[in-house]
Structure 1
Amino acid sequence: MADYVQVLTTTESCEDAYQLAHQLVSAGYAAVVQVNGPVVSIYRRDGVGVEAQQWQLLLRTVSTHVRAIEEHIRAHNAQDVAAIVVTPIVGGDDDYLKWVDGQTGGLTQ
């Protein structure tokens, strides 16, 4: 089987989240994108506390697409620093992972 990952990112608006999700699935970069939100992110920026409403996207894909996904997110994200976190998927239902392969052009071994 291919190596699988989840990619977590955020956008500043619901519209941006849906647009990005559709782009990533249509391009075959992600098998599925779940859009959650709004969520509230609390962090420090330039020494100042920030509380921001964001939309969170969780993608499932094959590891060979990670670079292209990161580039796409950076190019289509209004944030100064795009939040991109990649987590390996260490197990899962074989049929589901084969489906991820099929949706993303991954190679099932």
Structure 2
Amino acid sequence: MSDICVVLCTCPDKDSARLIAGEAVKQGHAACVNIIPGLESLYFWDGEVQNDSEVQMVLKTSRTSLDELFKLVISLHPYDEPEWLILDAAGGSDSYLEWIKRCTQKF
């Protein structure tokens, strides 16, 4: 299992995504967060199919930072049940992976 992972998390708008992303990077829980606007999400909630516009956050972090990153996201996220999917990095540039480790282990 890799020490580096990518977390997927959607937000209802850019403002909430920027708030979460900014704090995650500032606090050293993520090295980088991409905010991708323009998603259309269809999902089952409250007994029916919902259709909403969202933005996708792609958070790059280390496994050792996951717990603190999750606590931060939950504390700032406006959803009752935010998306939280962890994808292990199967590989990547050695220097990029080391950069993520350095950024997320500074605190």
Q: 1:32: how far off?
A: 0.4
Partner AA of 1:43 in structure 2: Y
Equivalent residue, structure 1, for 2:91: 91
Gaps of 5+ in 1: none
Gaps of 5+ in 2: none
**Counterpart-to-counterpart distance in 2, 1:64 and 1:104:** 8
Q: 1:101: how far off?
A: 1.4
Structure 1 ranges of 4+ moved more than 2 A:
none
TM-score (norm. length: structure 2):
0.92
Aligned 1:1-109 pairs, distance under 5 A: 3-105=3-105
Deviations 1:32-76 (A, max 9, x none): 000001211101112211001111100111101111111111111
Aligned-CA RMSD value: 1.3
TM-score (norm. length: structure 1):
0.91
Percent identity (aligned): 26
Aligned length: 105
**Counterpart-to-counterpart distance in 1, 2:105 and 2:64:** 10
**Counterpart-to-counterpart distance in 2, 1:37 and 1:22:** 16
